[in-house]
Amino acid sequence: MPHAKVKISRALAPVGICVTLSEQFMGDDNPLGILTNAAVLIKDESIVWVGKQDDVPSNFDLSAADIQDISGQTVFPGFIDAHTHLVFAGSRASEFDLRVQGASYLEILARGGGIQATVRATKESSFDELYDLGIHRLDVLLREGVTTVEAKSGYGLSVEGEIRLLEVIQALNRDHSIDVVPTFLGAHTIPEAYKSRPQDYVRLVIQDMIPEVARRELAEFCDVFCEEGAFDVEASRKILNAARQHGLRLKVHADQLKASGGGSLAADLKATSAEHLEYLPEEIVPRFKEAGTVAVLLPVAAQYLLMQKTPPVKAFLSYDVPVAIATDFNPGSAPCLSLLTSMTIGATLYHVTTDIVIKGVTIHAAKAIGREKKIGRIEKGFQADLSVFPINEYRLVVTSFGGVLPHRVMKRGRWVFVSPNCDPVMAA
């Protein structure tokens, strides 16, 4: 009996360069699984086939398909920004001059500035104002080919304030074509009212916030800022254990400003990811591998805070720990809403090749948000999240500070961004 034909809704064919990250094509001599003269076939929301254009099997019915000829161009999996503080109001521009003149991030925080200043500005903003800011920010990310974003709360620091931010994130996920993955970060810092009794705030997070966030299914992950001046290892462990008991997966802001034990805690708890990691002691790195913990690196924050230290990137690579690179978009340490710029800064700061960085915003970023079986690759069965760049040198996405932008972005099989003119500023 002849096989039933599979009706294709969209096809990209021929594709000049297809950066698949597909296991089928990846190997030592082809670490990104790059194909030339490729075809990608899409049915509804998913990729059903990728390979050489000449090898498209005959059981695919392309008669009703929207077919895009993108010869001479490059298609990537939709990029993933695995660490943002997307929803906040106000700016912290006034802190910039203090910092370049020598004040540290933690000193500014201790004086009631920093995160506390953003908590105040956020509290004064309405739900709609925060929502509109969020939509605009997602539009800016989409323009770079980003199709999935992790977003943390953390500028509420009260039960109502944290829930409200997670509700904004939920509305953004519902209304924007970008998927927004919610993380509860009630333990971002000790709010001013609890300064003299931090244990009470830890209790509030554990007893009131986490159960409510979990009951209303407002977050997938729980994160903690484990750092001197925020939450120590003991408090972080209690919070993360409570979150796990309520079904949340774990992330840790770890060893960013000092060696504070956060990375070791993340490995102990088999957290999905540990983030920042500038001061992570190298001997902890093998434990990340055993624990399956992804190292999420945030080069813009380190650059912006004038840090001299970089994470143990060589050790991550030699122990085969997955390394993701993200924006850390936030008003204090990384007011940079450009994943492409973060990629260029990451490559230069860490002395890593373009291939490592591209993996850091695709397959490894997908693992950092628990979606490695669904996004981050152009592979059969994966969600059809793609971006098409008008370049025939794929490395330009890493090497040019956002100087190349996609013509088209697809989310779940639909074109969600099409630009009539985005000629690259770099020779392609």
- Interacting residues with ligand NIG (CB under 6 A): 85, 114-115, 118, 225, 253, 256, 301, 328, 330-333
Residue nearest to ligand NIG (CB): 332
Q: Return the one option of Fe ion, ligand NIG, none that residue 256 interacts with (CB less than 5 to 8 A, by type).
A: ligand NIG
User: CA-CA distance, 22 to 381, in Å (whole number)?
Assistant: 11
What's the min distance (Å) between Cβ of 330 and Fe ion?
Answer: 6
* Distance of closest approach, residue 293 Cβ to ligand NIG, in angstroms: 17
Radius of gyration from C-alpha coordinates of the chain: 22
229 binds, among ligand NIG, Fe ion, none (CB under 5 to 8 A by kind): none
Nearer to ligand NIG, 28 or 124 (CB): 124
Helix (H) or strand (E) holding 346: helix 339-350
User: Which residues are bridge partners to 150 per DSSP?
Assistant: 181
The least CB distance from residue 118 to ligand NIG, in Å, is 5
Residues contacting residue 218 through CB under 8 Å, at least 6 positions apart: 163, 166, 167, 169, 170, 182, 184
Q: What is the DSSP string of 309-359?
A: ----HHHHHHTT--EEE----BTTTB----HHHHHHHHHHHHT--HHHHHH
Residues at the site binding Fe ion, with contacts judged by CB under 5 A: 328
Nearer to Fe ion, 22 or 116 (CB): 116
CB of 226 to Fe ion, least distance (A): 12
CB-CB contact of 226 with 252 (8 Å)? yes
- Cβ proximity to ligand NIG: between 307 and 405 the closer is 307
- For ligand NIG, the closer of residues 332 and 360 by Cβ is 332
State in Å, rounded, how far the first CA of the chain is from the last one: 48
Q: Which does 114 bind (CB under 5 to 8 A by kind): ligand NIG, Fe ion, none?
A: ligand NIG
Closest to ligand NIG by CB, 328 or 372: 328
Q: How far is the CB of 253 from ligand NIG (least distance, A)?
A: 5
The sign of the dihedral angle between the CA atoms of 82, 85, 91, 92 is negative
Least Cβ distance, residue 75 to ligand NIG (angstroms): 31
Contact 89, 125 (CB under 8 A): yes
Whichever of 179 and 223 has its CB closer to Fe ion, that residue is: 223
DSSP one-letter code for 8? P
